[in-house]
């Protein structure tokens, strides 16, 4: 277990402790809720992780270095921002794929733009949740307000990288 995972467990157990202080029923509800969500998320993992692994094998080692490589600049940041919006699923899809792109030569600033673009534009989430629950006007309001953010995130990351040489991947 890494330090980050240990930290997460400490946070979880503290929060669970507060639940138990409210009474055994709240603790029980929390565990049941977590179990239900685990059952919902496992099928996603079962298809998303193999998909990312197959794509990682298929994508040639330098495939991403041209369009979204570290030298691709503003154009690469814009492409990555747009591509982020097309990512077809939740974090269990996106983060393994970002790792795949990074191994295939994608730039760190471009991946910052891609994750930001996915967070803001993810089409599947708009179609399946945001539009049915909140309506088109809210979707437009949020998309227009958030439009420049992925490119801004990429450019700021690019500036940070000039000073701090941050890399992508497991420590």
Partner 1 sequence: MITLIRRHASLVVIAAIGATAAAVLWRRDGTAAVGAALVHAWDLFLFIAPSLLAGLLLAAALRQLMSPGGLARWMGAESGWFGLAVAMLAGALTPGGPMAAFPLVLVLAGAGADRGALVAYILSWALNGFQKLLVYEVPLLGPDFAIMRTLITLPMPMLAGWIARRLPIAWEAPK
Give the footprint of partner 1 on residues 59-78 (CB under 8 A): none
Positions in 113-132 near partner 1 (CB under 8 A): 115-116, 119-120, 122, 124-125, 127-130, 132
* Size of residue set near partner 1 by CB under 8 A: 90
CA pair distance 145, 102, nearest whole angstrom: 29
Residue among 73 and 124 whose Cβ is closer to partner 1 = 124
CA pair distance 5, 30, nearest whole angstrom: 20
Pick one of 9, 62, 74, 75: the residue that binds partner 1 (CB under 8 A). Answer: 9
CB of 163 to partner 1, least distance (A): 11
List of residues 6+ apart from 61 with CB closer than 8 A: 103, 104, 105
Residue among 66 and 88 whose Cβ is closer to partner 1 = 88
Alpha carbon distance, N-terminus to C-terminus of the chain: 13
28-46 CB burial, b ≥16 within 10 A, e <16: eebeeeeeeeeeeeeeeee
Are the CB atoms for 113 and 154 separated by under 8 Å? yes
CB of 75 to partner 1, least distance (A): 20
Q: Kindly state whether residue 162 participates in binding partner 1, applying the rule CB under 8 A.
A: no
Positions in 18-47 near partner 1 (CB under 8 A): 18-19, 22, 26, 29-31, 33-34, 37-38, 41, 43-45, 47
Residue 112: count other Cβ atoms within 10 Å of its Cβ: 26
Positions in 92-111 near partner 1 (CB under 8 A): 92-96, 98-99, 102, 108, 111
């Amino acid at each position: 277990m890494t330090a980050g995972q240990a930290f997460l467990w400490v946070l979880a157990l503290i929060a669970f402790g507060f639940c138990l202080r409210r009474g055994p029923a709240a603790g029980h509800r929390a565990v049941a809720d977590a179990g239900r969500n685990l059952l919902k998320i496992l099928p996603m993992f079962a298809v998303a992780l193999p998909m990312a692994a197959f794509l990682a094998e298929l994508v040639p080692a330098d495939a991403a270095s041209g369009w979204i490589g570290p030298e691709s600049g503003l154009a690469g940041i814009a492409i990555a921002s747009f591509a982020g919006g097309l990512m077809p699923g939740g974090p269990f899809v996106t983060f393994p794929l970002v790792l795949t792109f990074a191994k295939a030569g994608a730039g760190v600033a471009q991946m910052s733009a891609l994750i930001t673009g996915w967070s803001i534009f993810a089409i599947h989430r708009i179609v399946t949740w945001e539009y049915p629950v909140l309506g088109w006007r809210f979707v437009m309001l949020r998309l227009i307000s958030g439009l420049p953010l992925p490119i801004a995130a990429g450019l700021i990351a690019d500036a940070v990288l000039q000073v701090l040489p941050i890399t992508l991947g497991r420590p």
